[in-house]
Amino acid sequence: MIHLCKNPCMELTWYGRTCVRMRGKDAVVVADAYQSIVGPTGRGITGDIVTYSHPDDSPLPKGKGRSSRDGSTLIPVSLEEAFCLDGPGEYEVKDVLVAGIWTFRDEHRGEERGRNLCFSVELDGVHIVHLGDIGHLLTEDKLTDIGSVDVICVPVGGALSASKAAELVAQFDAKVIVPMPVCEDEESIEALAKFLHEMGVSAQPVPQSKLALMPSSMPTEVTTVVLESRGKI
């Protein structure tokens, strides 16, 4: 288990599926805050930057709010004023470096499930990659685009098998792995157990309410951190 930092540090919380909130000293980045996860009001989730890896597959039937730039996703009310990123490119917002990289949600270049964006975020000296709902391994070019990584947020239980998800993680030189079960109920428990087995974790880690890290507190060995969901899957 990674212990909480005594000094100010980057905090990461998980809200279900691929929704993650990363809080730094000067800014907060929220990934995939779909209304289908956090509701139309956001349930109090706030941030300065909001990223979307793909259009929401399960929009609320009567959801209201500002649309993302491409119009495919409704932004929760609590994040309507945030800087929205749902396309590729490099950005600097409030001293946070964010890069969006095109990938796909299946192994057939998006023919089955469409495109996906991976977002690389540098926050308080910690490099995080949020892989969204990726469905394939990465090419050397994509790995170069993403760059060095300390923390990987990887989907499990979706298009990637447990072994493929572990193989994808191994493509990086990251020290902290945060699995994001994208299926529901018992299926998510089974998917997480399979992934932990592939990662060589013998006993399931005790779920933490949040992950707190700073560059000087990074573990020396690869560590898989299981987080409690702050929302409803």
Every domain of the chain and the residues it spans = 10-224
| CATH number listed for the domain at residues 10-224 | 3.60.15.10
> Which is higher by pLDDT, 138 or 65?
138
- Categorize the per-residue pLDDT at 9 as very low, low, confident or very high, splitting at 50, 70 and 90: confident
Over range 42-67, report the average pLDDT: 89
Q: How many CB atoms lie within 10 A of CB 66?
A: 14
Condensed to tens digits (0 to 9), the pLDDT of residues 192-214 reads 999 999 999 988 889 999 999 99
pLDDT of 172 reads 97
Residues 79, 46: contact at Cβ < 8 Å? yes
Q: What is the pLDDT of residue 7?
A: 61
DSSP 7: S
Name the residue with higher pLDDT: 34 or 233.
Answer: 34
Among the residues of the chain, which ranges form H helices?
35-38, 140-146, 162-170, 185-198
Query: In which band, very low, low, confident or very high, does the pLDDT at 233 lie, cut at 50, 70 and 90?
Result: very low
Cα–Cα distance for residue pair 129/119, rounded to 1 Å: 6
User: Angle CA(77)–CA(78)–CA(81) in degrees, nearest 5?
Assistant: 85
Please check the confidence at residue 46 and state whether its pLDDT lies above 90: yes
**pLDDT of 175 strictly over 70:** yes
Which of 95, 96, 8, 107 has its CA nearest to residue 51?
Answer: 96
Residue with tokens 């993650």: 20
**Which pLDDT tens digit goes with each residue over 80-130?**
999 999 999 999 999 999 999 999 999 999 999 999 999 999 999 999 999
Q: What is the pLDDT of residue 204?
A: 80
Region of residue 93 (phi > 0: left; psi between -120 and 50: alpha; otherwise: beta): beta
Half-sphere exposure of 177 (CA within 13 A, CB side): 26
Handedness of CA 107, 113, 114, 115 (dihedral sign): negative
pTM for the predicted model, two decimal places: 0.94
Identify the band that residue 57 occupies on the pLDDT scale cut at 50, 70 and 90: confident
Give the per-residue pLDDT at 157. 92
User: Which pLDDT belongs to residue 201?
Assistant: 93
